């Protein structure tokens, strides 16, 4: 059967990826987004550059900042600074996602609400549209696995008080089993947030303590408080009313870091490609390297969750910078990890751990 159009529910990263795939295969993407514009879910907006890249080009005007490394802390103690092998971008998601969809020639309907169980979308003018074949990228409300909360402040730094520059700053909290972060945003602004296994109220309290303890943060102007739920329970492949789930709805978020833009873009692209080409989209999604990365990080998260706090602290402090990056980015190249872990004072126990996991 010749596919002439592809329905896409949701214009998040997965929906944009699906639109790009449809366009490249000569199929018109028809996109239904519930909000008035795409990419409104709060997040760190980080998009790392990794081997293999992305199936779509990142629009130049959506890039807010170039990232050239990260500083890592464990329970308030400086661990190391990584430069030269942890690069990427901070992006304006709204600009990026809309540009990808427009470039794909997508027919975009905003404020179009999906009606679960009906295979229809309620259009803003009062009509309805049927969506019977396509990609479902409705985000975390349609995800069946575990989720955590995250809260963040958008803060104004001004030109002379930027505490991070072109670096990410990550503060692991072994008691929380999560981390606080400071990420660059557009020039003159930063995102200061925290996510982990706690209630939103508890996270807000921890975030206030984190900000108050920093002389370079506590006097900054606070612009906006944001919060979100993040899928960290691993893959949840399946269909919604016959539409193939992709993106966060299908669990394409790296559980250890919460990174979702890159995994979701890839999953949406591959799901749409398989649908149009007549393959099995679920088998295709399950076989992706990024799917393996999600599953591997979920196994590590489960392992670390079962450790005592002191054991978590020792583990985090034992990993080399490259090992941290290899795991955080979901690369899991065995030869790289074994080489890096052999450098650690706890080499034997770490090598045994990695051998069991990968």
Q: How confident is the model at residue 337 (pLDDT cuts 50, 70, 90)?
A: confident
- CATH 3.30.9.10 residue ranges of the chain are 46-89+147-231
Question: Considering only 86-90, 179-183, 256-260, which range has the smallest mean pLDDT?
Answer: 86-90
Mean pLDDT, the chain, rounded, equals 91
The domain 5-41+92-140+236-287 is placed in CATH, from the list 3.30.200.20, 3.40.50.300, 3.40.50.80, 3.50.50.60, at: 3.50.50.60
From residue 37, give the alpha-carbon distance in Å to each of 64, 133, 208, 248: 18, 23, 30, 18
pLDDT at residue 73 greater than cutoff 60: yes
State the residue for tokens 């090992």: 323
Per-residue pLDDT tens digits for 108-153: 999 999 998 889 999 998 899 999 889 999 999 999 999 999 999 9
Q: Which two tokens stand for residue 190?
A: 């930063």
SS3 per-residue string spanning 329-342: CCCCCHHHHHHHHC
Q: What is the mean pLDDT of residues 202-224?
A: 95
Q: What is the mean pLDDT of residues 69-77?
A: 93
Which position has the higher pLDDT, 29 or 337?
Answer: 29
Task: Centre a 10 Å sphere on the Cβ of residue 6 and count the other Cβ atoms it contains.
Answer: 25
> What does 219-262 look like in DSSP terms, one character per residue?
TSEEEEEEEEEEE-S-----EETTEEE-GGGGT-S-TTT---HH
Per-position b or e across 102-116, b if 16+ CB within 10 A of its CB: eebebebbbebebee
pLDDT at residue 159 greater than cutoff 80: no
Q: What is the mean pLDDT of residues 302-311?
A: 91
* pLDDT value of position 321: 87
* pLDDT value of position 133: 86
Per-residue pLDDT tens digits for 14-50: 999 999 999 999 999 999 999 999 998 887 788 998 8
Task: Centre a 10 Å sphere on the Cβ of residue 214 and count the other Cβ atoms it contains.
Answer: 14
pTM here?
0.93
* pLDDT value of position 354: 59
CATH 3.30.9.10 fits 46-89+147-231, yes or no: yes
φ/ψ of residue 84, rounded to 5: 95, -20
Q: How confident is the model at residue 210 (pLDDT cuts 50, 70, 90)?
A: very high
pLDDT at residue 350 greater than cutoff 70: no
CB 83 within 8 A of CB 35: no
pLDDT at residue 355 greater than cutoff 70: no
- CATH 3.50.50.60 residue ranges of the chain are 5-41+92-140+236-287
């Amino acid at each position: 059967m010749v596919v002439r159009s592809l329905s896409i529910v949701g214009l998040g990263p997965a929906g944009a990826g699906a639109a790009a795939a449809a366009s490249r295969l000569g199929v018109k993407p028809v996109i239904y987004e519930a909000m008035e514009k795409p990419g409104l879910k709060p997040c760190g907006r980080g998009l790392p550059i990794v081997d293999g890249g992305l199936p779509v080009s990142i629009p130049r005007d959506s890039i807010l900042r170039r990232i050239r490394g990260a500083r890592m802390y464990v329970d308030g103690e400086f661990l190391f600074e990584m430069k030269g092998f942890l690069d990427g971008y901070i992006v304006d998601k709204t600009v990026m996602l809309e540009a990808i969809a427009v470039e794909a020639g997508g027919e975009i309907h905003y404020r179009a609400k999906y009606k679960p169980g009906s295979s229809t979308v309620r259009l803003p003018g009062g009509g309805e549209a049927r969506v019977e074949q396509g990609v479902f990228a409705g985000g975390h409300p349609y995800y069946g696995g575990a989720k955590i909360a995250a809260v963040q402040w958008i803060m104004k730094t001004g030109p002379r008080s930027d505490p991070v520059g072109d670096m990410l700053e990550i503060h692991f909290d072994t008691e929380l089993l999560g981390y606080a972060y400071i990420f660059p945003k557009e020039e003159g602004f930063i995102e200061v947030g925290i996510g982990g296994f706690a209630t939103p109220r508890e996270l807000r309290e921890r975030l206030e303590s984190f900000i108050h303890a920093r002389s370079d943060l506590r006097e900054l102007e606070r612009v906006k408080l944001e919060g979100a739920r993040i899928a960290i329970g691993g893959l949840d492949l399946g269909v919604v009313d016959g539409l193939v789930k992709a993106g966060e709805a299908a669990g394409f978020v790296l559980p250890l870091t919460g990174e979702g833009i890159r995994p979701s873009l890839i999953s949406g692209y591959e799901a749409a490609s398989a649908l149009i080409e007549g393959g099995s989209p679920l088998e295709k999604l399950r076989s992706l390297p990024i799917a393996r990365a999600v599953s591997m990080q979920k196994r590590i998260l489960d392992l670390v969750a079962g450790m005592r706090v002191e054991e978590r602290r020792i583990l985090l402090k034992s990993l080399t910078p490259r090992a941290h990056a290899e795991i955080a980015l979901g690369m899991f190249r065995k030869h790289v990890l074994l080489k890096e872990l052999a450098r650690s004072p706890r080499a034997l126990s770490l090598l045994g751990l990695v051998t069991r996991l990968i």
